[in-house]
């Protein structure tokens, strides 16, 4: 059972990482008793690799929930109409929040007892660098291009904005205008872990955040952000 790590971020938040080596069938056998049939009905109609990634996220979410709420009935991870995961069932504590991500052989899950949460794990590749003008603001792009930024650095920037997007928990945000990294971190190779100051610019006003980042393994980037309460808007 390759549960890589459970990290207690606070008394009300736990982050989990899973290094997947199992097949979809093996992962299904790791689900809590009674949950297998419910997840079988929700399993995406995709190939075995995609199904294994999906199930790894659910198995991990249950491991994180057990660490955060020991002894409580296992909640069911479902998705709303926009695809965002949420906890359901009698085992769901009031106000609980879940954020999931998977890429390649890794899955990440962040659960909190309330507030907001976002997590993202990404395989390092050249895609983020190629599409950087689409998700970085002009100032962010200029800062990235001024330094020795490589594929890992651009993947980190993309992942940080994905985490902010999940934290905001709303559709239709423009990454290069409303999800801003201020200032950009140093090149990722020189700083394998740290925090990025960030801001959400929404119609109601602005909120400030700190996105944590690290490398769970060579060739991967992990970012996450959580809040026990929704912060007040700055106008």
Mean pLDDT score, 184-195: 76
The predicted structure's pLDDT at residue 148: 76
The predicted structure's pLDDT at residue 184: 75
Q: For the chain, give the percent of residues with pLDDT over 90.
A: 69
- Tell me the C-alpha distance between 92 and 221, whole Å: 30
| Fold for the domain defined by 120-227 | Ribosomal Protein L22; Chain A (3.90.470)
Annotate 79-91 with b (16+ C-beta within 10 A) or e (fewer).
eeeeeebbbeeeb
Neighbours of 139 (CB within 10 A): 14
> Could you tell me the residue ranges of all domains in the chain?
3-114, 120-227
The predicted structure's pLDDT at residue 189: 63
- Tell me the C-alpha distance between 200 and 222, whole Å: 20
Mean pLDDT score, 139-160: 90
**Residue 54: is it exposed, middle or buried by C-beta count within 10 angstroms (0-12/13-18/19+)?**
buried
Q: Where are the beta strands (DSSP E) in the chain?
A: 3-10, 13-19, 76-79, 85-88, 97-103, 106-112, 116-123, 179-181, 194-202, 205-214, 220-227
Does the pLDDT of residue 92 top 60, yes or no?
yes
The predicted structure's pLDDT at residue 36: 84
Query: Does CATH number 3.40.50.720 belong to domain 3-114?
Result: no
The predicted structure's pLDDT at residue 4: 94
The predicted structure's pLDDT at residue 233: 56
Note the pTM of the prediction, 2 decimals: 0.93
| Two tokens, residue 25 | 């069938």
Mean pLDDT of the chain: 91
Q: Are 3-114 and 120-227 in the same CATH fold?
A: yes
Sign of CA dihedral 127, 110, 99, 167: negative
Does the pLDDT of residue 232 top 60, yes or no?
no
Does the pLDDT of residue 235 top 80, yes or no?
no
């Amino acid at each position: 059972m390759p549960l890589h790590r459970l990290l207690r971020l606070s008394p009300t938040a736990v982050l989990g990482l899973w290094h997947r080596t199992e097949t979809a069938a093996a992962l299904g056998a790791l689900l809590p008793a009674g949950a297998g049939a419910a997840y079988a009905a929700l399993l995406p109609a995709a190939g075995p690799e995609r199904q294994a990634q999906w199930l790894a996220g659910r198995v991990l979410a249950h491991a994180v929930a057990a660490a955060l709420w020991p002894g409580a009935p296992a909640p069911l991870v479902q998705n709303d109409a926009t695809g965002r995961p949420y906890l359901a069932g009698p085992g769901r504590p009031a106000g609980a929040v879940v954020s999931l991500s998977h890429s390649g052989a890794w899955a990440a899950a962040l659960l909190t007892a309330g507030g907001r949460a976002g997590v993202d794990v990404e395989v390092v590749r050249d895609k983020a660098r190629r599409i950087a003008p689409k998700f970085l603001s002009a100032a962010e792009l200029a800062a990235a291009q001024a330094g020795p930024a490589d594929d890992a650095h651009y993947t980190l920037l993309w992942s940080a904005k994905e985490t902010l997007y999940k934290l905001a928990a709303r559709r239709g945000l423009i990454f290069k205008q409303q999800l801003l990294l201020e200032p950009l971190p140093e090149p990722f190779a020189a700083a394998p872990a740290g925090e990025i100051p960030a801001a959400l610019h929404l119609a109601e006003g602005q909120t400030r955040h700190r996105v944590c980042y690290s490398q769970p393994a060579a060739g991967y980037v992990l970012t996450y952000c959580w809040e026990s309460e929704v912060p007040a808007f700055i106008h």
